[in-house]
Structure 1
Amino acid sequence: MPAPTPADYRFAPALTARLLGLTLVASAVVVLVATVAVAYWDLHTVVLLVPALLVLAVLVSMMAWSNGYVVRLTEDGYQVRRIRGAGVPAAHWKDVEDAVTTHVHGSPCVVLRLRDGRTTTIPVETLNVDREAFARELQERLTHGQGHRRL
C-alpha cells in the first residue's frame, strides 16, 4: 500500500472572515484616533501615514497568515499550528496512543492522546472540513503510521 500524501487543513472560511472583520474594525479605530489627534492638536497630516502603514502591514500579515495550514497530517505524524491551547503541536504517529472525539467547551474536538500522557486537542469546527471525514482521515493515518493493517 503506498504511503498517503500529506493532507493540509486550513481555517474554516467563516472563522477567517470573522477574524478579518475584527481586524478591519480595529484598524478603522486606529485610523480614526490618528485623524482626531491630527485635527485636535493641529499635527502635520503626514502623521496619518503611520497608522495607515500599520493597518496595511496588519492586513498583509493577516492574508499571509490565513493562507497556511492549521493541521497537517503526513505519513510520519501530525503538526498543529495557530490553535491556542492545542497542547502538543507535533508528534509522530508511533507516539500517539489513540485518538478520541469529545466536546470541549461545547465544541466538537479530536483529542490525540500521546503515550507519555500529553495530548493535542483539535477543535474540528475551526477547520474547513467535514468533521466525520477529518476523523476518518486521522484514524486511517494513525493506523497506517503505527504499522497496523485494516482487516
Structure 2
Amino acid sequence: MEKPRQQNHYTVEQRWEALKRVAVAGCKPTARALNIPLGTLKGWRKKAKLLFEFKGAQTSRPTERQGAKSKITFERDLVTFMKDVRREEEYMKMEQVAWLEMYLSDKSSPESALSALMRLCQRFTARHGFSVQKFRYSKMTKKLYKKLMFNLQ
C-alpha cells in the first residue's frame, strides 16, 4: 500500500522569495529550482497582492485569519468592557501601592502573603454584604423565558 502524498507547507517568507524569483525567471524555471509544484506557484502568483500586503510574521504559514467566525456581533465592545472591569479590579495595586507593600512586607513568604491578602479581602467582602455570585443556569433560563413570553404577549 502506498503512503499518502506528503503535503508541503510554505512560510510567507518562502512564498515572497519564490514570487520575486518568478518575476525575474518565470514560473517553470523557479518551480524546478525550488522544487515547488507549478500549480502552487501559479496560485501564489494570482494571490501575489495579498501575499505582499501581509502584515503578520514572515514565518507564519496562513495569510488569512484562521478559525471559526465569531457569533458575537459586539465583539469589540465586549472586549473593551472586560478590560475595563479588569482595570477596576486592580484598585489595590494601582491606587493603594504603599498600603499593599506595607501589608505584604510583614509576611514570611510571597505565598503566605497572597493567601493572607485573599483571606483579608474575603472577610472584608463578607462583612460588607458582598457575596460570591454563582451562575445558575436553570434559574436564569426560567427567568429569561418568562420575561420573553411576557414581552411577546
TM-score tier after normalising by the smaller chain length: under 0.3
Q: Which has the higher strand share?
A: 1
Q: Which has the higher helix share?
A: 2
- The structure that has the greater radius of gyration is 2
Higher relative CO (Cα under 8 Å, sequence separation at least 6) belongs to 1
TM-score, normalising length: structure 1: 0.25
TM-score, normalising length: structure 2: 0.25
